[in-house]
Amino acid sequence: MTLKEHYSNSKKPVISFEIFPPKDDETKEKFQKLLGHLKTLKKYNPAFVSLTYGAGGSTQTNSFDMIKKIQSEVGLNVMPHFTCVCVRKNHILEYLSQIESLGIKNILALRGDVPCDCSVKNFDFHYANELVEFIKTHSNLSIGVAGYPEGHLECDNFMLDMKNLKRKVEAGADAVFTQMFFDNEKFYSFCQSARDLGIEVPIIPGILPIRSYGQLEKMLSMARVSLPEKLRIKLEKFKDNPDDIKKLGVEFATQQCQELLKFGICGLHFYTLNSSKAPSEILDNLRG
């Protein structure tokens, strides 16, 4: 099913999970372990699993293997991510035809961030809206794009960033998947701004269950994401106790999802960090 079909046909909120391919130099055991986590997550009937892409193509070989294995061994649909920095049009065409031949229906189209080892000069696309237009013209894929409830790090003008989001939707995007956020009010006003600008496609909140204090700090340093004061105080209190942080992460994300469900979101997209544990606990809490 396409993204459009998933979000318009389902009576319940659509569940999806993001994973990333283990690095080339990591063992096959990691692949198998990840497949095991996906088998666990399958019981929550996810519409698809989204698979990140190393900007510049660094994880591409693993991506194809992962897609095939997730489809054949786990029986889940995959939405691969794809970034357009450091690549040329002919490479993109080749990639699109390869994933379509694997039966893929959906793709998350991104600009990405230029990696330091990028050897391609003058790449063809500079922003994700150009990639969306290209994919729309050259494939039958349904396209998702990234959205930033607190604005993208490079853009200091929130409304300009929203207008740039609109460019992606006008170019043919069928759904917006957001960056993690911890303050639902930011998500609600992001949705309102999008609707005010005439962005009508589904906006799916990205949920990150906090797993470690250090990891969270690193992620926050690379994105424009604020922490509510109450959460910050609790994290500080538990920062030297990994088990308490994980417990807090699940409790916080459960409450966050409960409020988002009341708000009327059409889907929940979990950043799994390649583990089924926290998303399973959160989804069990939501069912319970």
Active-site positions read: 18
SS3 track for 31-76: HHHHHHHHHHHHHHCCCEEEECCCCCCCCHHHHHHHHHHHHHHHCC
Residue with token string 């794009």:
145
Q: Angle at CA 250, nearest 5°, toward 67 and 74?
A: 20
User: Which residue, 52 or 254, is less far from ligand FAD as judged by CB?
Assistant: 52
Compose the 102-121 pattern: x for residues touching ligand FAD by CB under 6 A, - for all others.
------x-xxxx--------
User: Which residue, 206 or 267, is less far from ligand FAD as judged by CB?
Assistant: 206
Residue of the chain from 164, 189, 226, 275 that contacts ligand FAD (CB under 6 A): 164
CB of 46 to ligand FAD, least distance (A): 15
The site that binds ligand FAD (CB under 6 A) totals a number of residues, namely 24
Using the contact rule CB under 6 A, the part of the chain among 33-41, 152-160, 185-193, 252-260 near ligand FAD is 152-160
Site for ligand FAD in 173-232 (CB under 6 A): 177, 179, 206
| Cβ(120)–Cβ(88) below 8 Å | yes
SS3 track for 226-241: CCCHHHHHHHHHHCCC
Site for ligand FAD in 77-96 (CB under 6 A): 81, 83
The closest alpha carbon to 184, from 255, 236, 234, belongs to: 255
Using the contact rule CB under 6 A, the part of the chain among 7-15, 49-57, 233-241, 275-283 near ligand FAD is 49-57
CB of 126 to ligand FAD, least distance (A): 7
Using the contact rule CB under 6 A, the part of the chain among 41-49, 125-133, 187-195, 272-280 near ligand FAD is 125-133
Strand partners, 175: 144
Q: How far is CA 198 from CA 158, 174, 192, 194, in A?
A: 16, 14, 10, 6
Counting every residue written for the chain, the total comes to 288
User: Which residue, 53 or 213, is less far from ligand FAD as judged by CB?
Assistant: 53
Site for ligand FAD in 221-280 (CB under 6 A): none
Instruction: Indicate whether 161 belongs to the interface with ligand FAD (CB under 6 A).
Output: yes
Cite the DSSP H helix spans in 73-228. Answer: 89-101, 128-138, 158-170, 184-196, 213-221
User: CA-CA distance, 287 to 117, in Å (whole number)?
Assistant: 45
Query: What are the two backbone dihedrals, phi and then psi, of residue 103, each rounded to the nearest 5 degrees?
Result: 90, 15
User: Which residue, 160 or 261, is less far from ligand FAD as judged by CB?
Assistant: 160
Instruction: Indicate whether 46 belongs to the interface with ligand FAD (CB under 6 A).
Output: no
Residue with token string 């991104």:
110
User: Which residue, 211 or 248, is less far from ligand FAD as judged by CB?
Assistant: 211
| Cβ(283)–Cβ(44) below 8 Å | yes
User: Which residue, 64 or 127, is less far from ligand FAD as judged by CB?
Assistant: 127
Residue of the chain from 55, 86, 175, 216 that contacts ligand FAD (CB under 6 A): 55
| Cβ(271)–Cβ(18) below 8 Å | yes
Residue of the chain from 65, 94, 154, 217 that contacts ligand FAD (CB under 6 A): 154
User: CA-CA distance, 231 to 237, in Å (whole number)?
Assistant: 10
Which spans of this chain sit near ligand FAD (rule: CB under 6 A)?
52-53, 55, 81, 83, 108, 110-113, 127-129, 146, 152, 154-155, 161, 164, 167-168, 177, 179, 206
